[in-house]
Structure 1
Amino acid sequence: MDAVELSRKLQEEATCSICLDYFTDPVMTTCGHNFCRECIRLTWEKAKGKKGRRKRKGVFPCPECRELSPQRTLRPNRLLTKVAEMARQHPGIQSRDLCQVHQEVLKLFCEDDQSPICVVCRESQEHRPHRVVPVEEAVEEHKLKLEGDMGHLREEMAKTEKLQTREQQALAEWQEKVRKQRQRIVTEFKKMAALLVEEEQRLLEALRQEEQDTTARLQESMVALEQQSCSLETLLLRLEDCCTREPLQMLQDMKKPLDRKNSLSVQYPEATPISLRTVCRVPGQIEVLKSFQENVVPDPATAYPYLLLYESHQRHYLSTPPDGTPCSKDRFLAYPCAVGCQTFSSGRHYWEVGMNLTGDALWALGVCRDNVSRTDRVPKSPENGFWVVQLCKGKKYVPPVSTVIPITLTEPPSHVGVFLDFEAGEVSFYNASSGSHLHTYAEPVFPGPLKPFFCLGVPKSGQMVISTVTLWVKG
């Protein structure tokens, strides 16, 4: 008898025929059959209520042979208790080695269902048409398949480990690159900070020297004019005194004052220019501002009727109202103005406006409240909802605030940059070509949403270019 068959026999002997599990507290009836104490008790309890099954009270039939046995004669089977415990612990006795249906050893393997079966299953209608082989043959066949699969999996594992190593190296390399880049950023910004400090000191020194030179010339001119004024005043007093004397006395005394008057050389010094040559130019500032750049486009629906808008990419004029058509409430009627399509109520925004100007150019640009008057001629000042700079007669940049001294430019800017920091309440203007700062408005808080603002003066002012749209006044 082989080990499998021996295990099967041991399992059969240690199994209760009622619960089909290993014995628990086995007892023996008078007929010699064994059952779990609880199993036989429950079986006989059910039999109590059935008539015709018992001849005497307290006597019950054996579930195996039907022989009557008194309930009080059940004897504990300690040997079988040990056998059942051994069966539970024996590694060779596993329920998976037996057919769950027929309790026979699983000696065959069904290739169609890919499952082990017993010899009884083999003859069943379900498995009769299937390809069935002995377990040993199936094991050898599937071992070969599994070895092939394992070989493939080992190859995949090797590839995975190789890729894992590669990714670990890439991670380490990436972290090193980030570390170096972080250090480079810190170093370069330190250098830039040092350069900015040096440039700040250079500009301040240049401004100090310019202030000193211009102040000295102005003071020298003032001293000379003061001295000349004193000489003229002294001579004037003498002449006035001479005029008050007696006629003969006047004629005798006037020679000296007249000689002095004729010898007096009155000089009027040229006006000392007070336009600043030192400009506030922060290296790299325009590049930083361009990180906030917006694609600002003028809104044709708001444009003055004779303010033409030409779209260069699409090569056509944007809509203007035909003659005789009532204008909308959004259209400017007082000045050749327009506002942008965008409305800003938060954040930082930057845009540039190109200039193709004539010598008599008149224009203004910046931001305005979205609800400014379109029909009234009002000064373009913050009090009226405008934060703009203006160019008058081609060279003078005038912020429209009475307390601000106009800025005289050597050359009108060809590109003006506008930077809006809504939360900070600031609008700044820059010469986008040279990077120099022109003017900044600072408010505690803006009163509401703002729009980009564009305005041209007389038809001969030239053109203004915003993104892909060109503006000019129809002549």
Structure 2
Amino acid sequence: MAASLSFSEEDLSCPVCCEIFRDPVVLQCSHSFCKTCLQQYWTKKLSGRDCPLCRCESSTDDPVVSLTLKNLCDSYVKESCVRGAAEGEETGELCNLHGEKLKLFCLEDCQPICVVCHTSRKHKDHECCPIGEAVLDFKAKLKAALKPLKGKWEAFDKARQDYEKTAAHIKTQARQTEEQIKAEFEKLHHFLRVEEEVRVTALKEEEEAKSLMMKAKINAVERTMASLSDTIRALEEEIQVEDITLLHKCKATMKRAQPTIPELKLGSGVLINVASYLGSLTYKVWMKMLEIVRYTPVTLDPNTAAPWLILSEDLTTVADSEERQHLPDNPERFTLDTAVLGAAGFSSGSHSWDVEHVGVEESRTNKMAELLPSEVPLKKRKIEAQSPDQENSCRQVPVRLLSSTELLLQIPPNTNTSLPVWECVNATQAGVQWSETPYSITIQITPLTTQKARSNDQPVNQPQPPCQFKHVPLPVHLLPTLSGLDHNGDTDCPSVFFKLAAKTFYTKPSKYIHICDDFLTGCCPHKLSCERHHTPLPFHWQLRHWNTQQWVNISLSAQVKLEKLYCDPDQETIRLQDIFPIRTEAFTLHLETKKVTSAKYDKSRRLSSSYDPEMSPHFPTEWSIYWWNDGKWEKYEKEVSKELVGAIEAGETSRGFYIGKQLYEVDFSRMTQMNVTTKFERRIRWRPTFRSPFSIKSNLKTVSLGEPPRPFGQVLPSLSVDPLQEFSSWYPPVWNLSPNQGFSLVEVPPSAKAYQSIHCLFYSTMNETKTEIISIQQVQNIFHWDRYRRQKEHMQIHSTAHSWSLEQHLFHGTTEDCAKEICLNNFDPRVSGKNGVVYGRGSYFARDARYSLKYAAKSGGGNQHMFLAKVLVGNVTLGNATYSRPPRLNPLTPGYELYDTCVDKISDPSIFVVFDNCQCYPYYLIKYKAVSDLVNICE
């Protein structure tokens, strides 16, 4: 196209406007003009229609547009644009009026113009700028306007996401709330079903008992009627006799005619006691339901809780969270303060409630919620914290006047009883002073002197002044400090003593009734009218007197011992002992038949709680079934055992089950298992799982663990601290030893937290039905403890081991003589080798008490000794019999750093060997023995 055009821009330009033709016309003189330019020229001239160039007259007033010339102009313009684009020039847009490129931009009219337009009247005085600058300026303005738009878009997008999260949270809230509503109503439904079942069962039992009674009466009446019929028939035959024979039998006949007939009268209480079942039934159920329904005066609003708070499902308790929760940022929620509001329920007045404030840092104790002015004034939470060492702190504690001369003050639960003043109180080395005014009583307790515990190298106890009270003498019951390992015969008995709560215990004659679970938790509403047994423990043993047929209870301590032996499947019989004033009787209890070979008792029975967790949620009896295999009892798999126990409880006489593809059948009447294919039979037996009083004490309200009576005025250190937990003080918080003493052994009472923690750790691998703890003693040796603590600080700084693996509590079994020496001189790696040196010539410790059992040789009385030691494990390596010290930590690099401990295996080690006695300390000494099969039913 460009090659075919031989015209220049001048050839295709209008002589008038000097621009490319627009709608070109050709006059008769062959000159060409823009039609618009020609008409404007003729209009200005007012006369004539001549050519602007040659002045020749035109024959027409309206010349026709030359399409040929117009096409040539259009082609030229298009070709010029293409050529400019190919050469990298900006083509731009042409001016509609002048056909020129739009190279300027009018700032006042805000439109692009050409050079000709800039000189025209319309834009002559307007401020203009080049198109390029205008484009850059406009882009800058667009960018400035675009940024807030993007910000708004992002804000709306975030709002959309928040709304979506809120919608999802609403669905989650609705689902969880629905589940909780259903769960709460299910509890009520379950409660009603249980109540219905209990009452219907009691009704059926009463119906059965009274039906049997009436059946017995009917049988007696029928027997009497049969006897009377025989008498009537005999008398009628006698009447038919006519001779003197009748008179010979007259005396016997008259006696027979006047038989003794029992009185035909129903006694009282024969009918069903309908009133006891239907009388105020709904009210009684409602009153009992009140005991399982808990009312809390304040309901926390989860929609206001700060993201760092976790609320309980019932919205009554709140706790701090380690991480911020992802919750909707609704207007009601606290975001700056760690706070939560109670649900709206107050419109006016002053309202308050008690808050249990546990584990909150001092910097966060005075935070309060700020309410908006438009909100209803809800109750604000206000917490005031006081540090333990704050003097003259005022605490509200319960006070009760026991009598005119006795006042009881209860120690608050959060009191730090490890402070020195409490040691003085326990040691009866404190003076009590008080002053009274008409409206207040001020009591002050101050230490008198420092009480020192007995040690092995000191003489007998010195006289100690009792507590001095200037107004009211208060009784004090304290435990003594025991010294050494030498005890009398009484201390070889288990040290657990039981205290019965002030409750009424009773049992029913029927053996098909379970022990009341509510009574054990201290909330049975029926009290003496309850249809179930009320016993101190979830199990209860009784002996039947052969003469009176009355069931006799045995002592509480004997209950636990007897239950422990019964839970051992290896036990066939138990020796019982009954102590009388002038003699002692020993007899045998056969556990399978429950028969007793005694001159006083003929049978025994065991009462227990239900095995159904719904019937007994706190103390369900767990049964296990064992089968005899190669001289020992083996337990069935859990599922099989559960199935068989359910069949026994349901009253079935037999039940079949599969082990793999083999079918077995159990006969519960004979307690045998038969292989259906081979007809081979084995014995089976079922026994409960032993539940230690320590394992159920949290829910058990009928019995508490106590200590035996102790002499007045002796020392009991504070043993409420868990010894297995880390502490910040140099000495353990429970110590009361002075620096000038050698060492002391302090017996730990069973009620102490230390005893319970060690008890649980010891029996985590030991069988409680085979062994029983006699005593647990704390070893207080300042010299060896100081060495141990300095070694611990050194290892904490230099050891590369993790903090969780630096110190561990491990067991060490030993003999009685060695135990005494260890208490004085610590463990000594130099005397290793007596029991082998498989992993090195050092002191051996075990993770499990079961492993240390075989190294704890029995003493003359059958007692065994085991230490619970603190051991600094640190960096461990695999042991070797040739090691007399640990190997180097890294043999390839220069240096003399050694491993700290040798172990039996790197992954999950169970045996630890240390070569320096600074790394170990005999923390507690456990004295125990095998469970005896002799039970004193009166102790």
Q: Report the TM range for the smaller structure's normalisation.
A: 0.3 to 0.5
Larger Rg: 1
| Structure ranking higher in helix proportion | 1
Give the TM-score taking structure 1 as reference length. Answer: 0.32
Give the TM-score taking structure 2 as reference length. Answer: 0.19
